[in-house]
Amino acid sequence: MTAQRQEGICRTFALVTLLAGFFAVFHPLASAAATTERVVVNRFSGLAIEGFDPVAYFVEGHPVRGLPDIELMQGGAVWRFHNEGDRAFFAEHPEIYGPQFGGYDPTEVARGVTQAGNPLFFVVADQRLYLFSREANRDAFAADPDRFLAQANARWPELERGLAQ
């Protein structure tokens, strides 16, 4: 093996070792940052509720994809809407139209855990939107929302304090 080739291999090994060390140090921080948000967002796009229109759950009764040209930045998240009217409603009352508990599953919040909700598993109860991580959680909540909400509301302030703004 020539000295030049040996030197190239050593440089490559050093670079790979440096990158592996960098990844080992910063990888846990990246995954923690993606899961410690007060509003659940897609860590790659910054979209809240995966780009679904939060107002449509109330108006249409089901999830409707928002449009890229009808967006609003609120609460550190990008919200998409199906039409300008929905964006205006949300801008005036995000506390009503936005998913409760920042989009975290209220059945998990009731247990003391922050698990991101899936915009396809939802319930609108008492004029508020709730998202669930699993269909079974949605069904359990729908059968007894008062029980879950009492527990979730009691635990949410402490959980929320532990989430990054």
Q: Which two tokens stand for residue 104?
A: 């975290």
Q: Is residue 63 part of a domain?
A: yes
Q: In this model, does residue 24 exceed pLDDT 70?
A: no
| Whole-number Å distance between alpha carbons of 23 and 29 | 10
Q: Is residue 26 part of a domain?
A: no
Q: In this model, does residue 4 exceed pLDDT 80?
A: no
Q: Kindly state the average pLDDT of the residues 91-113.
A: 96
CB 73 within 8 A of CB 90: no
Q: Is residue 9 part of a domain?
A: no
Task: Report the sign of the C-alpha dihedral through residues 100, 104, 105, 106, in that order.
Answer: negative
Q: Kindly state the average pLDDT of the residues 39-55.
A: 95
Q: In this model, does residue 130 exceed pLDDT 80?
A: yes
Q: Is residue 71 part of a domain?
A: yes
The one-letter code for the residue type at 107 is T
Q: Is residue 27 part of a domain?
A: no
Going by C-beta distance under 8 Å and a sequence separation of 6 or more, which residues neighbour residue 159? Answer: 104, 109, 112, 114
Give the domain range for residue 107.
Answer: 49-161
**Exposure of 114 in the CB half-sphere (CA atoms within 13 A):** 21
CB 135 within 8 A of CB 121: yes
Q: Is residue 130 part of a domain?
A: yes
For the chain, percent of residues with pLDDT exceeding 90: 72
For the chain, percent of residues with pLDDT exceeding 70: 78
Domain count for the chain, please give it.
Answer: 1
Q: Is residue 108 part of a domain?
A: yes
Burial class (CB in 10 A: 0-12, 13-18, 19+), 125: middle
Q: Is residue 61 part of a domain?
A: yes
